[in-house]
Amino acid sequence: MVHFDLTGRVAIVTGGSKGLGLEMARTLASLGADIVIACRNASEGEQAATEIRKIGRKSIALDVDVQDVGAIYRMVQSVKEKFGKIDILINNAGAVSVNAALEVSEEEWNKVVDTNLKGVFFCAQAVAKVMKEQNYGKIINISSVAGRIGQLNIAPYCASKAGVINLTKAFAKEWAPYKINVNSIAPSYIKTNMNEASLSNEAYLKSVLSLIPLKRIGETNDLSGTVALLASEASNYITGQTIYIDGGALA
């Protein structure tokens, strides 16, 4: 369908060098978008950009820590100079610290909240200033089901992802006059390199599957359809929403 065609669009994917980020970058590229991979590991970022270029799209990698507001604004300026515009932002960069709430340090709290919430805010702010000039844009924030329900031993993560959900609503209302759609995707358990070790534990996997009606762990490509929708003109009348991709866990 023509509504899903992203030919000529320019997308930034933070945390785009691997896992969910790379899969979402592939999805956008397959629909015609040129991709900016923003991540903290330059070599991994360049590997991802090389893969995107093999799909036939333009792609560059930028070394960016989303905890650094100055770095975010330098990224946006670089993309604007290189491509002339920014049509899509996927706020995917994230961090988690597994620790009992009674033991969480200030350093742990700051790393998780600054990456997951502060980073989302300032990446969106910087990109929205460009999108406002264009009178068009699609921003997709990656939250989590942990932003909807409390989970053991990841309290800062739960707090930050809940913040992303409400921040998405606030952005959507403020930026609607500029034709900027802002939505959120909240996955449940998705198999990535970050959780591969824990999911290989049979007892842990069994406990997780007991919470999921579809009785399987999600794959990174389970987000692809929703990303395609929210990044394209097919979602022009959708804003301020959070879509849960959780195998029915919240049903």
DSSP state of 217: P
Task: Decide: residue 56, CB within 10 A, 0-12 exposed, 13-18 middle, 19+ buried.
Answer: exposed
Number of Cβ atoms within 10 Å of the Cβ of 157: 23
Beta carbons of 38 and 147 less than 8 angstroms apart: no
Closest CA to 140 of 8, 56, 33: 33
* Chain centroid, CA 161 distance in Å: 11
Structure tokens at 204: 């842990």
By annotation, the residues acting in catalysis are 157
Report the amino acid identity of residue 49. Answer: A
Closest CA to 90 of 168, 177, 156, 157: 168
Q: To 5 degrees, how large is the angle CA 172–CA 176–CA 177?
A: 155
